[in-house]
Structure 1
Amino acid sequence: MFRVEADATEGSTKVSPIRVFLDVLFVLIDIVKVIWYGLPILVIHIFRKFVPSKLKEVSGQTVLITGGGNGLGRALALDFASRGCNVIVVDIDLAAAERTCAELKRKRVAAYAYRVDVSSYEQVEALSDNVHKNVGPVDILVNNAGLVYFDFLHNTSVSMANRTIDINIKSHVWTTKVFLEKMMERKRGHIVGISSMSGMYAFPWAVVYSTSKYAVNGFMAAITEQLRLQGYGDQIQTTCVCPYYIATRNDIVDFLKKPRFKLLTTERTARVIVEGILRNEVILAIPPFFDLGVRIMQLFPVKIQQLVRDYIIREYELNS
């Protein structure tokens, strides 16, 4: 035990020099431990960038995809089905979900369509009860539903901001909450959050949207750590996906009139995402060099980051 001496004249405390020395020593020892255990992990991580690990087998497993009626969600459903997965398509547009299911069934897999507003906890809870009763346990949960909305904050209506936050953030929380319990009971599962590069790199043309995607990244990071601390880290996997903008809708293409980088195609993005999930990648940026570029940029002062925005990304030209 170390002694802390009180200074009666100044009303403060003095820490023993020995205590300071030992605290610093213990921190240095912990740093050495991190380096010792971390170096092999880093080497393997770098190696896997050049030699990807084998894809895990998912044939016969059940995948639930929110926002699966159109766009990226539909493409993900088709890719999973081509690998032998049964797919549950959840969408606010039931007709779109049913059309996707019709395509999936042609791949000789089971497909189920549900109309659900995933921003509503009550509807998501009812979905979970229905799925577990009539279909069975969900092996892979893909939180894909999202609202893309471009505008500066002062032009954003309260109703639009609320809707964006409800769909882009609450849906991830609610669906994960109701399906995670069964995954923990079975000690298996995979939770996927479809975020955006706007969740790693603040996009000024879409303040509320970018904010919602930052929240998704934080939520996925917190869930990953929760599962690790609770002992499920090797049993329930997580993947946070951060793609660049995808040419899924005309309004996105119309808004981004002069993007510095080419927009992603839906089919290729879906294939990369599914392969990343099947390799148990925790963070998946598309294209991968964007992730590295953002991390490097954030090491520099804000003024330097703004130069990158002006001369490399050219944000001022995006909607001009």
Structure 2
Amino acid sequence: MRRLAGKTALVTGAARGIGRAIALRLAAKGVRLALVDRDAPGLAQTQRDAEQFGVAALSIPCDLTDNHDLEALAEGLLDCWAGVDVLVNNAGIAYYGPTHAMAPEDADEVLATNLHAPVKLTHALLPALLARPESHVLNVCSVLGLAVMPRVAVYCASKHALIGYSKALRVEYGRQGLGVTTLCPGFVRTALIEDATSSGRSMRRPPGVCCVSLDRVAHAAVRGIERNRRQVIVDPVGRWIRGTMAAAPGLFDWMHSLGKARRAANKRAELAALHPEVETALRLKLGRSAPPLQVQPPRQVA
């Protein structure tokens, strides 16, 4: 979209994190906003902050996994503002833990929030988007929509599917004035990791050097809308992942296998330290010249 000032945008997941940052960046560009989230107090704060830029902003508490709420949101927006120019599908949740231990209802919630909600909301607003001379859909995905990581299988599946959906929309409607962009940030300084539904084991914090700021993500997102970028990779880590998956997808399997081997060796060493007789038996099995097992120190992260 060549000019954002005076346009209307719907931003989901706008109470905090990436959604809030994108909403405020759009407000600074003169875009009036419809803000959606389940967190009503956080949503109200985003509305107040957006209005300081001199634009109109609506806060609409809504559960996008509820079909009735989603349909009411789309109908109300069409009645109030006769549609939108920009749709930002940002709302998302994560689950972290062994896939076999994941409850079916947790898997349903991840897919409903990360995939079904943006697909249904886009479908409901698509006629209004196509009625505009130019319009745009920004789907906030993840580098885990390009690659994979253990213990987040359903999350990865939801983001891979959303990227595929976005690509298909762009091809189908690109000549009718609808731009579609996928935003694929890597590690961002948000509460998503802390809030990840877990089986009891906390998610490891990524190294600080790998994280990017919300301002940087929001700037890249809005620039992607303005320039109608097919895909926006925010950070060097994400670009490395995309390039590696294109050139050598098997590399990630090899890297994960190395990590599993290291963890198994550490467990053996810890057991040997607690029970010397076990260490003796292991050394006999490995060969008398095998050195004593040693625990590898954990890598320090910021």
The RMSD of aligned alpha carbons is 2.8
Q: In structure 2, what is the equivalent of residue 28 of structure 1?
A: none
Aligned residues: 260
Q: Provide the C-alpha distance between the structure 2 equivalents of 1:237 and 1:184, rounded to a whole number of angstroms.
A: 10
What amino acid is the match of 2:92?
A: G
Identity fraction in percent = 25
Q: Provide the C-alpha distance between the structure 2 equivalents of 1:318 and 1:246, rounded to a whole number of angstroms.
A: 20
Counterparts of 1:13-92 in structure 2 under 5 Å? 56-92=2-38
Q: In structure 2, what is the equivalent of residue 223 of structure 1?
A: 169
Q: In structure 1, what is the equivalent of residue 70 of structure 2?
A: 124
Alpha-carbon distance change, 113 to 252 in structure 1, aligned in 2, over 3 angstroms: closer
Q: Provide the C-alpha distance between the structure 2 equivalents of 1:315 and 1:197, rounded to a whole number of angstroms.
A: 25
Q: Provide the C-alpha distance between the structure 2 equivalents of 1:186 and 1:257, rounded to a whole number of angstroms.
A: 43
Cα deviation digits, residues 116-164 of structure 1 (max 9, x gap): 1112333222111111212332000000000022222012111111110
Q: In structure 1, what is the equivalent of residue 189 of structure 2?
A: 247
Alpha-carbon distance change, 288 to 273 in structure 1, aligned in 2, over 3 angstroms: farther
What amino acid is the match of 2:253?
A: Q
Matched, 1:204 2:146: no
State whether residues 187 and 206 of structure 2, in contact with CA within 8 Å, keep that contact through their aligned partners in structure 1.
Answer: no
What amino acid is the match of 1:99?
A: Q
More relative contact order, 1 or 2 (CA 8 Å, 6+ apart): 2
Matched, 1:111 2:57: yes
Alpha-carbon distance change, 319 to 120 in structure 1, aligned in 2, over 3 angstroms: farther
Unaligned runs of 5+ in 2: 197-201, 264-297
Q: Provide the C-alpha distance between the structure 2 equivalents of 1:203 and 1:149, rounded to a whole number of angstroms.
A: 12
Q: Provide the C-alpha distance between the structure 2 equivalents of 1:261 and 1:214, rounded to a whole number of angstroms.
A: 25
The one of 180, 188, 202 aligned to 1:238: 180
Shift of 1:57: 1.8
Q: Calculate the TM-score normalised by the size of structure 2.
A: 0.78
State whether residues 7 and 85 of structure 2, in contact with CA within 8 Å, keep that contact through their aligned partners in structure 1.
Answer: yes
Q: Provide the C-alpha distance between the structure 2 equivalents of 1:137 and 1:279, rounded to a whole number of angstroms.
A: 22
Q: Calculate the TM-score normalised by the size of structure 1.
A: 0.74
Q: In structure 2, what is the equivalent of residue 272 of structure 1?
A: 220
Unaligned runs of 5+ in 1: 1-54
Shift of 1:202: 0.9
Once structures 1 and 2 are overlaid, which stretch shifts more, 260-269 or 292-301?
Answer: 292-301
